[in-house]
Structure 1
Amino acid sequence: MTPVVWSAEEASERLSRPTADLDTGALRDVPALVVDDAHLLPTDALDPLGLLPVVCIGVATMGTAPGFDAVAGDLASALLLASAAHERPNAATALAQVLRASEGQPIEAALLLESAVYATLQAGPEFAAWLSGRGRRVRPDEPEPPVLVDDGTRVRLTLNRPRLHNLFSAAMRDALVEALRGLAAGDDRPIVLDGAGPSFCAGGDLAEFGSVDDPATAHLIRTTANAAPWMDRLADRLTVRMHGASVGAGVELAAFAHSVEATSDATFCLPEVSMGLIPGAGGTISVPRRIGRQRTLAWCLGGSTIGAETALDWGLVDEVL
């Protein structure tokens, strides 16, 4: 599939047609649309962009083309994003749509949408292809608690699978939810969340991906046992200290906190689109709050790993130690 590029003038004309949605979309082998000089697109042409089943990428300076799903500073960079969308058209399109629809919504509705779309993609061909290439993985029993709780004048919660870089397992999720739930009522102590070992949290435990029999059940589990709403509820009291690798859920959950600190060696990545998925631990809400919808989508499409200084420049973290 070759990325489609329109000039601002052509985009304005095409988007004014009632059949604009018939020109693009993953089902028509056009999962991404690039508009050159996107800042010149008239305001009345922006509304149709939000209805198109396509990743809309504008060539413009950040902040000058608000109707687009992502922006790039030059055509070559925009085409790279479009090519990434072509590689995983279902996941890329779904993420663009979720980020659009979640903007400004209450967190309960936004998390429900994220989980439902994540479950849909779990049943899709892109995730199946990734899963088949991953191979089978089995974890031995782990006697240590997955989250350590240190009670004092402040509460310190420590992710505790250091040998596995604190991969976010179901057991860790449940332990974190239990700890956060207990702090949500009648307790106003400050909370610090960090990770034991070489990394804060290197993402979801890949050994557990695809382990639930059906996506509908997985959706119910995510909406019943999810750390994201508790992180959001306690955000004003919460400081997250990040070091080493932070991937997927490790980035998404931390982004809810009022204060996020990172060591100079910290790295950050959201690789879910490359797996045929979207961020599924609250990241479609927490990350755009910090860095904006357009940058979130571009980062997810590119799949790049960024360092602490870039994270600070974007607003993903508040301080580099």
Structure 2
Amino acid sequence: MVCAALTVPAAELAREAAQWREPVAFIDLHREAADVPNFSLPPCPVIGVGRRDHPLAARLDTIVESSFDSEALEQAARSQPLAAATVAQLLRLLPSLSLEQGLIAESLAYAVLQGSEAHRTWVAARPSAEILPEGQVLLERVEDDLAITLDRPEAGNAIDRPMRDGLHEAFALANADLSIARVVLRAKGKAFSLGADLGEFGTTTDPARAHAIRMLTLPAREAVRCADRFEVEIDGACIGAGLELAAFARKVRASRRSWFQLPELAMGILPGAGGCVSLTHRIGRQRALLLILSGKRIGARQALDWGLIDALMDEAP
């Protein structure tokens, strides 16, 4: 059960927003009779429990859905209060920004958390990773289609620096050559992508420098420019940076065995490969926060119901 002190009437929370010091707040929408004029939010996530059609619901950061647990969301916010607050504040801003502006805002928020004690603690406690061969990104042009293939199956297609640079170059190529009518991203092996290579976290310790690098090399910055030609085929695990990039595509298909997850909050950070932007654009800021705050895996069927993917590859259209 959620701590009773964290569940407050909306009008009371609005009055106390500037002084609210808890890492999260819950509003029981079953008990709220009507909308609250001049409703304002504290800096932390504000989570609704109950009716999604309540007049207040759309103004909250997220609504607890049937397969998610309020207590787990509370614990996540308590465990990483700075990351939870930062991502909630960022997601409130994103609907008013263009995709390109959103990527800048996301990178700045990510940089703030990169320098946090919570993230440094996670980096220091991280187990030593097995050294695996560098990944590569394969390109093949077939008539007007450009096929991009993640090729690091022995590492679950975890995206290391060479793959990041290869993806950036591949999307830049698509943007430079408008005769390419379709850009299709696939992956070799049993997993589409396990996300960013965890062994590379913490290698750039200056947050300002890390932000500058992202502005030059982040694949999403090129992917958004050809999003109307971009398609993705997913099979298996699709985690972190892999999901963040895929969600920019105009069409995403996945096998029924695929599953999706954003685990970054537990590391003291937020999705920084474009995911706050792409998932807000695809499924809305409330469900984006639900995935980020919970760290929960969802299956292909739920992803289809939400619109995170557009079709199942192994079912008839």
Q: Which residue of 2 aligns with 1:155?
A: 146
Query: Does 2:174 match 1:183?
Result: yes
Aligned-partner residue type, residue 12 of structure 1:
A
Per-residue CA deviation, residues 14-69 of structure 1 (Å, 9 max, x unaligned), is 42x3x5311x1xxx3x01011112764524143x12xx211111112335301111
**Uncovered stretches (5+) of structure 1, i.e. residues with no partner:** none
Q: Which residue of 2 aligns with 1:57?
A: 47
TM-score by length of 1: 0.89
Following superposition of structure 1 onto structure 2, how do residues 162-181 of structure 1 map, counting pairs within 5 Å? 162-181=153-172
**Deviation for aligned residue 1:87:** 1.1
What is the CA–CA distance in structure 2 between the aligned matches of 1:317 and 1:141, rounded to whole Å?
31
**Residues matched between the structures, number:** 306
Aligned-partner residue type, residue 266 of structure 1:
S
Following superposition of structure 1 onto structure 2, how do residues 115-154 of structure 1 map, counting pairs within 5 Å? 115-137=107-129, 139-142=131-134, 146-153=136-143, 154=145
Match of 1:103, SS? Answer: helix
Contact 1:3 1:82 in 2 (8 A): no
Query: Does 2:17 match 1:20?
Result: yes
Aligned-partner residue type, residue 221 of structure 1:
I
Match of 1:156, SS? Answer: strand
**Uncovered stretches (5+) of structure 2, i.e. residues with no partner:** none
Contact 2:115 2:205 in 1 (8 A): no
**Deviation for aligned residue 1:259:** 0.4
Q: Which residue of 1 aligns with 2:98?
A: 106
User: Paired residue for 1:42, among 35, 60, 75?
Assistant: 35
What is the CA–CA distance in structure 1 between the aligned matches of 2:69 and 2:159, rounded to whole Å?
33
**Deviation for aligned residue 1:121:** 0.6
CA distance 1:197–1:140, change in 2 (3 Å): closer
**Deviation for aligned residue 1:300:** 1.2
Contact 2:29 2:51 in 1 (8 A): no
Aligned-partner residue type, residue 312 of structure 2:
V
**Deviation for aligned residue 1:5:** 3.2
What is the CA–CA distance in structure 2 between the aligned matches of 1:112 and 1:273, rounded to whole Å?
19
Match of 2:96, SS? Answer: coil
What is the CA–CA distance in structure 1 between the aligned matches of 2:247 and 2:154, rounded to whole Å?
24
Contact 1:3 1:33 in 2 (8 A): no
Contact 2:111 2:208 in 1 (8 A): yes
**Structure 1 stretch displaced more, 158-167 or 290-299:** 290-299
**Deviation for aligned residue 1:2:** 4.8
What is the CA–CA distance in structure 2 between the aligned matches of 1:288 and 1:110, rounded to whole Å?
10
What is the CA–CA distance in structure 1 between the aligned matches of 2:297 and 2:230, rounded to whole Å?
25
What is the CA–CA distance in structure 2 between the aligned matches of 1:288 and 1:276, rounded to whole Å?
20
Contact 1:61 1:72 in 2 (8 A): no
Q: Which residue of 2 aligns with 1:78?
A: 70
What is the CA–CA distance in structure 1 between the aligned matches of 2:17 and 2:229, rounded to whole Å?
47
Aligned-partner residue type, residue 184 of structure 1:
N
